[in-house]
Amino acid sequence: MNLGPQIIKNSYPYLLVQSGNSPIKLGNNTDVNWIAGGVVASTGNQTISGVKTFASDISAISFGSGRADNYIALNSSYNRFGNTSETNEFGSFASGQNSFGFSSLINYFGESAILGNYFGENATQNYFGSATGQNLYAGVSIFDSTGRMRLANFTGASSQIGLRGEARVSGTYLYICTGSTGQWGRVQLTGF
């Protein structure tokens, strides 16, 4: 195309112009309306495939709002949701059920969160770690695949750090933390 000795903004207003790292503009130096041109869709249902890597945080108004069932990373090998964030909520107030990483190999939910994690708060039905042989909370297995609760072993002195209400077991004793940061009590278990 021979543009000739013409002023682009007057003769070729719809020509796309780009220089260096500057955004693409029209010939008259106005922004391109990619949405009106049908190049970019900002509304409606959209299907995106393939792995996408984002260099910054993604902010969404809601996830699964108004839906009875929500699924994240179904059957994937490795899941992280809200890792190192301050507060995480997934499926709060859902009317049906919430599934996170169902049947996946490894699931992380809110690992290293500072303030707190909420998983399915006030939901009708929640599944966490379904169909897995071992489920970990804070690095300790508390429930196995049959639903049995497993307590960590108690080691060390009665003055060691613990959380009020925390339970541990060792030998023939059951230990309960009765203080805010320690102070353990124990009761002896007898066979029957």
Cα 3 to Cα 140: distance, rounded to the nearest angstrom: 71
Residue 136 has pLDDT above 60, yes or no: no
What is the pTM for the complete model shown?
Answer: 0.39
The whole-chain average pLDDT of the chain stands at: 74
pLDDT digits (tens, 9 = 90+) for 39-75: 888 888 888 888 788 788 777 666 666 666 666 666 6
Residue 48, SS3? coil
Mean pLDDT for the stretch of residues 158-167: 84
Q: Which of the residue ranges 21-25, 99-103, 130-134, 163-167 would you say has the lowest mean pLDDT?
A: 130-134
The domain ranges of the chain are: 7-38, 65-150, 151-192
Cβ neighbours around 112 below 10 Å, total: 9
Share of the chain above pLDDT 70, in %: 66
The CA distance from 98 to 94, in Å, is 7
Of 104-108, 128-132, 186-190, minimum mean pLDDT range: 128-132
Residue 141's pLDDT band (boundaries 50, 70, 90)? low
In the chain, % of residues over pLDDT 90: 5
Report yes or no: 51 and 80 within 8 Å, Cβ to Cβ. no
